[in-house]
C-alpha cells in the first residue's frame, strides 16, 4: 500500500511554525480496510508526532466506509476515549458506536463558527477524529484554523485585548431547554448536558462546577461558567487562543440565546466587539476549508486547532470521536 503526502488548494504553509497545514496523506491503491489499518498501526507514532506539530491530518483513500470502519481506525491509535455523555457540551448528537457519534446536528443552513471543542466548559477533549460518511452536498466544509498562529497575529494587532484574555479569562452564559431542541446548534437540554433528571440534581451539579444559574419560563435554565482560561500555554511553550469566543460571539443564537451576549471577561467586564471583529477577520484569513470526500478521516489536535462547519445543501454526514 502506497501512501503519499499531497497538496490541496487552500493549504497554509507556516514555515516557522510546523510547516504545511493541514498535513494530507492519500492512498490510491489501498486494497481494503485491513491494509489501511496495518499501515496506520505501523505509522502510529509518527502520525501522532506530526499531529502535534502540524495541528491536523487528513487521510484520504484509506477505505473507511462506515461508522464501524471508523471505530476500528480510531482504535489503532490506542488513545483513551472521551465519551460525549460525560461532556458538558450543548450540541445535540447521537451515538453510533461506543466511540463514534454524529457531529453537531444543527440545521444545514446554520453556520457553526470556529471553536475549540468544549473550551466553554471545564472539561474538554485533547484530540478529535472526524469521518466523512456522506458528501453529496454543496458547501459543508469543515474550516480549520491554527490557534497559535491566530494568537500571535492577534497579539500584534490587539495587544491589550490579548493581555486581558490572558489575565482575566472569560465567562460563558447559555440558556438550555428542558428537552433537546434539534433546531439549534446549542439545543442539548440541561438534563442531557448535566446528566441529571431533576432541577434539584441540576442545581447540585452546577454548584459542584462553580457555575451560577437562574431558571426562566418553560424550565429553561440559564447558566454562567466560572472564569475559564482564554489563552493556554502548551507543553512545548506555544500559546494558543483556546476558547469559544468566536463561536459564542457569532453563533450562539436561537429562541433562548442571543449572539454576542454569551461572553464576558472573567471579572464580569465586557468584551469590545471591535476586538472580536479583528479576531474573526484573522481567523477567517488563516482558515483551511476541508473539502470533504466520502471516506475521508481527519485528526485534529484540539489544543492547537479550532474547527467549525460551513452551511450546506444536499446530503452531508460527518461523524466524530473524541480523545481524552
Residue 237 has pLDDT above 90, yes or no: yes
pLDDT tens figures, 26-56: 999 999 999 999 999 999 999 999 999 999 9
Once rounded to an integer, what is the mean pLDDT over residues 175-194?
Answer: 89
pLDDT tens figures, 58-91: 999 999 999 999 999 999 999 999 987 778 887 7
Once rounded to an integer, what is the mean pLDDT over residues 142-156?
Answer: 98
Once rounded to an integer, what is the mean pLDDT over residues 280-287?
Answer: 98
Residue of higher predicted confidence among 44 and 102: 44
pLDDT of residue 182: 82
pLDDT of residue 253: 78
Per the prediction, the chain carries an average pLDDT of 95
pLDDT tens figures, 206-223: 999 999 999 999 999 999
pLDDT of residue 282: 98
Show the 3-state SS of the chain. Answer: CCCEECCCCCCEEECCCCEEECEEEECCCCCCHHHHHHHHHHCHHHHHHHHHHHCEEEEECCCCCCHHHHHHHHHHCCCCECCHHHCCCCCCCCECCCCCEECCCCCCCCCEEEECCCCCCCCCCCEEEEEEEEEEEEECCEEEEEHHHHHHHHHHHCHHHHHHHHHHCEEEEEEECCCCCCCCCCCCCHHHHHCCCCHHHHHHHHHHHCCEEEECHHHCEEEECCCECCCEECCCCCEECCCCHHHHHHHCCCCCCCCCCCEEECCCCCCCHHHHHHHHHHHHHHCEEECCCCCCEEEEECCCEEEEECCEEEEEEEEEEEEC
Domains annotated for the chain, with CATH where assigned, are 4-139+289-323 (3.60.130.10)
Q: By mean pLDDT, which of 59-73, 144-158, 176-190, 227-241 is the weakest?
A: 176-190
Amino acid at each position: 500500500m502506497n501512501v503519499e503526502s499531497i497538496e490541496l488548494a487552500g493549504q497554509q504553509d507556516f514555515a516557522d511554525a510546523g510547516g504545511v497545514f493541514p498535513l494530507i496523506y492519500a492512498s490510491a491503491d489501498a486494497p481494503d480496510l485491513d491494509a489501511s489499518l496495518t499501515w496506520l498501526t505501523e505509522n502510529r507514532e509518527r502520525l501522532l508526532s506530526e499531529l502535534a506539530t502540524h495541528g491536523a491530518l487528513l487521510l484520504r483513500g484509506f477505505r473507511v466506509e462506515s461508522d464501524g470502519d471508523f471505530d476500528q481506525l480510531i482504535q489503532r491509535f490506542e488513545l483513551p476515549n472521551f465519551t460525549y455523555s460525560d461532556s458538558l457540551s450543548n450540541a445535540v448528537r447521537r451515538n453510533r458506536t461506543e466511540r463514534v457519534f454524529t457531529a453537531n446536528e444543527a440545521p444545514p443552513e446554520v453556520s457553526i463558527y470556529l471553536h475549540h471543542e468544549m473550551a466553554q466548559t471545564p472539561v474538554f477533549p485533547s484530540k478529535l477524529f472526524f469521518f466523512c460518511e456522506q458528501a453529496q452536498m454543496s458547501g459543508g466544509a469543515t474550516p480549520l484554523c491554527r490557534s497559535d498562529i491566530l494568537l500571535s497575529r492577534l497579539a500584534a494587532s490587539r495587544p491589550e485585548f490579548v493581555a486581558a484574555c490572558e489575565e482575566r479569562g472569560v465567562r460563558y452564559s447559555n440558556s438550555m431547554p428542558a428537552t433537546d431542541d434539534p433546531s439549534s446548534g446549542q439545543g442539548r437540554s440541561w438534563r442531557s448536558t448535566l446528566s441529571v433528571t431533576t432541577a434539584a440534581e441540576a442545581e447540585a451539579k452546577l454548584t459542584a462546577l462553580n457555575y451560577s444559574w437562574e431558571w426562566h419560563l418553560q424550565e429553561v435554565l440559564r447558566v454562567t461558567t466560572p472564569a475559564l482560561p482564554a489563552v493556554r500555554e502548551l507543553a512545548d511553550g506555544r500559546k494558543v487562543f483556546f476558547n469559544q469566543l468566536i463561536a459564542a460571539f457569532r453563533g450562539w443564537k436561537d429562541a433562548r440565546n442571543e449572539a454576542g451576549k454569551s461572553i464576558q471577561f472573567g471579572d464580569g467586564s465586557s468584551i469590545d466587539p471591535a476586538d472580536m471583529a479583528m479576531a474573526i477577520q484573522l481567523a477567517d484569513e488563516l482558515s483551511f476549508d476541508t473539502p470533504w470526500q466520502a471516506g475521508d478521516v481527519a485528526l485534529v489536535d484540539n489544543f492547537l486547532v479550532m474547527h467549525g462547519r460551513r452551511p450546506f445543501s444536499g446530503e452531508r454526514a460527518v461523524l466524530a470521536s473524541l480523545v481524552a
